[in-house]
């Protein structure tokens, strides 16, 4: 059939015949025969025909129980055309007869929720994909760090969801009155999904010990840093459960929003920002844990950007930055200068507070840098924290499940 004839057929048998005036809106094929034009709620949306055919919901194209596409792509025609359109189910759905002799039915509600309009797509990305982050400086810290009761998040799904949402939005959240039990980490991580394991194991105990394989286990001040920068799949969230806090001075946590400081740097010192986002640094961890030797290296900039230029991850650790620095000689000193500026700003924006026994502090390890004020244990009371990690993949997954269940 020639394209002119086909066009006439479409016009005659479909557009003019049913006039595409469905109760829930209007639908027609675009004049270039490339998309379905749908008009609902006085809003016009275009759905490319190739996308519609690819997303047919029938049993041969889509497997419902696994919510997965099974359409045979070996026979897929990317230039597929519409032969005719028909309203279905009291005009709630549209049926398309395709040029490849297939028939598909789409509900308008289903189409509406998959709109290609920029604003609808942005809404979907922020609402379901990843919530928008709100950046902060230490001036805003007390407003930003939301406090939840352990019992609430363990028993009330909405509180549990809100807790995860605040963690995602602000990168930090505090839980009060958790059991002062080192095994508690198993329960809460299981409620989200599971602990992210590293070469230090699942949970790690932070108690001062002189003979240690990691500087976090000293009682001296711990400079601002992100954990595990030497991992490509760097764990997403740190959970620090305070079981015993020192009664002496010191032991406070320091937290600074690396995304906020990176954006500040971009504004105030673009040259330093470019150097830190374009220079790959070798991060490493070399040692032994429980008789198993490890030798990790990962190369990544201090400030990682996504393809839109947004800051996507911060890596900073004085101890875990390797002495191998595989960059051009001429870049070395300018990079150090830029790092000094960035670190100074991280400290200027850092908030300080001391957790109490029963507190679980959760913070975004891809975004915040954290540190600790030095302290001294007394003979009877030894500061004791249990740390572990959970991944953002699992947290966002749980948030979407809860959001769907709760109808939020
Ligand atoms: Zn199908």
Pairwise CA distance, residues 169 & 35, whole Å: 37
What's the gap in Å between 32 CA and the centre of ligand 1?
23
pLDDT at 3: 36
What's the gap in Å between 400 CA and the centre of ligand 1?
28
Residue 7 burial by Cβ neighbours in a 10 Å radius (0-12, 13-18, 19+) = middle
Helix (H) or strand (E) holding 240: strand 237-244
Architecture of domain 3-118: 2-Layer Sandwich (3.30)
What's the gap in Å between 247 CA and the centre of ligand 1?
68
pLDDT at 15: 37
What's the gap in Å between 36 CA and the centre of ligand 1?
17
Diameter of the chain measured on Cα atoms: 92
Residue 85: Cβ within 10 Å count: 21
Secondary structure of 153-173 as H, E, C letters = HHHCHHHHHHHHHHHHHHCEE
39-94 pLDDT tens trace:
877 789 999 999 999 999 999 999 999 999 999 999 999 999 999 998 888 888 99
Pairwise CA distance, residues 339 & 316, whole Å: 9
What's the gap in Å between 306 CA and the centre of ligand 1?
36
Pairwise CA distance, residues 15 & 36, whole Å: 11
pTM: 0.89
- End-to-end CA, the chain: 50
What's the gap in Å between 62 CA and the centre of ligand 1?
7
Contacts of 12 (CB under 8 A, 6+ apart): none
The ranges assigned to domains in the chain are 3-118, 130-406
Q: Where are the alpha helices (DSSP H) in 10-156?
A: 17-18, 49-54, 108-112, 118-124, 141-144, 150-155
Indicate the pairing of strand 82-88 with strand 93-98: antiparallel
What's the gap in Å between 81 CA and the centre of ligand 1?
14
pLDDT values of the chain reduced to their tens digit, one per residue, 408 residues: 333 333 333 333 343 333 444 434 578 899 899 999 998 777 899 999 999 999 999 999 999 999 999 999 999 999 999 999 988 888 889 999 999 999 999 999 999 999 999 999 999 999 999 999 999 999 999 999 999 999 999 999 999 999 999 999 999 999 999 999 989 888 999 999 999 999 999 988 888 776 667 766 666 788 999 999 999 999 999 999 999 988 777 888 999 999 999 999 999 999 999 999 999 999 999 999 889 999 999 999 999 999 999 999 999 999 999 999 999 999 999 999 999 999 999 999 999 998 999 999 999 999 999 998 887 776 677 888 999 999 999 999 999 999 999 999
What's the gap in Å between 55 CA and the centre of ligand 1?
8
What's the gap in Å between 335 CA and the centre of ligand 1?
56
What's the gap in Å between 128 CA and the centre of ligand 1?
27
Pairwise CA distance, residues 235 & 285, whole Å: 15
What's the gap in Å between 95 CA and the centre of ligand 1?
11
pLDDT at 207: 83
Contacts of 309 (CB under 8 A, 6+ apart): none
Cα dihedral 216, 219, 220, 221 in deg (nearest 10): 60
Please give all residues whose CB falls under 5 A of ion ligand 1, grouped by chain where several chains appear: 56, 58, 61
Tell whether domain 130-406 is in CATH 3.60.130.10.
Answer: yes
What Rg do the C-alpha atoms of the chain give, in angstroms? 28
Beta bridge partners of 281: 300
What's the gap in Å between 18 CA and the centre of ligand 1?
23
């Amino acid at each position: 059939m020639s394209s002119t004839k086909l066009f006439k057929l479409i016009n005659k048998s479909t557009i003019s015949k049913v006039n595409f005036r469905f109760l829930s809106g209007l639908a027609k094929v675009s004049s270039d025969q490339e998309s379905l034009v749908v008009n609902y709620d006085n809003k016009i949306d275009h759905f490319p025909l190739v996308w519609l055919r690819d997303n047919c919901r029938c049993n041969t194209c889509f497997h419902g129980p696994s919510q997965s596409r099974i359409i045979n792509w070996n026979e897929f025609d990317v230039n597929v055309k519409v032969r005719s359109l028909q309203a279905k189910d009291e005009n709630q759905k549209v049926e398309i007869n395709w040029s490849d002799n297939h028939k598909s039915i789409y509900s308008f509600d289903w189409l509406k929720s998959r709109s290609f309009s920029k604003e609808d797509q942005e809404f979907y990305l922020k609402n379901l994909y990843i919530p928008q982050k709100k950046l902060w400086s230490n001036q805003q810290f007390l407003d930003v760090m939301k406090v939840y009761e352990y019992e609430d998040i363990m028993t009330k799904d909405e509180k549990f969801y809100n807790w995860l949402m605040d963690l995602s939005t602000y990168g930090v959240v505090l839980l009060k009155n958790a059991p002062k039990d080192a095994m508690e980490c198993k329960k809460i991580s299981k409620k989200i999904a599971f602990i992210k394991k590293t070469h230090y194991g699942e949970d790690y105990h932070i108690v001062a010990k002189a003979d240690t394989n990691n500087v976090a286990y000293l009682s001296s001040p711990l400079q601002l840093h992100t954990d595990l920068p030497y991992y490509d799949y760097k764990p997403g969230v740190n959970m620090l459960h305070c079981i015993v806090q020192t009664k002496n001075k010191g032991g406070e946590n320091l937290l600074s929003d690396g995304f906020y400081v990176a954006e500040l740097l971009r504004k105030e010192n673009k040259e330093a920002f470019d150097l830190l986002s374009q220079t790959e640094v070798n991060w490493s961890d070399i040692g032994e844990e429980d008789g198993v030797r490890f030798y990790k290296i990962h190369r990544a900039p201090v400030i990682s950007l996504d393809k839109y230029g947004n800051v996507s991850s911060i890596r900073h650790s004085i101890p875990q930055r390797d002495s191998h620095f595989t960059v051009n000689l001429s870049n070395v000193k300018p990079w150090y200068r830029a790092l000094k500026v960035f670190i100074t700003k991280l400290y200027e924006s850092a908030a300080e507070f001391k957790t109490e026994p029963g507190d679980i502090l959760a913070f975004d390890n891809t975004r915040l840098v954290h540190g600790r004020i030095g302290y001294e244990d007394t003979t009877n009371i030894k500061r004791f924290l249990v740390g572990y990690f959970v991944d953002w993949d699992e947290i966002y997954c749980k948030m979407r499940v809860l959001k769907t269940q709760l109808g939020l």
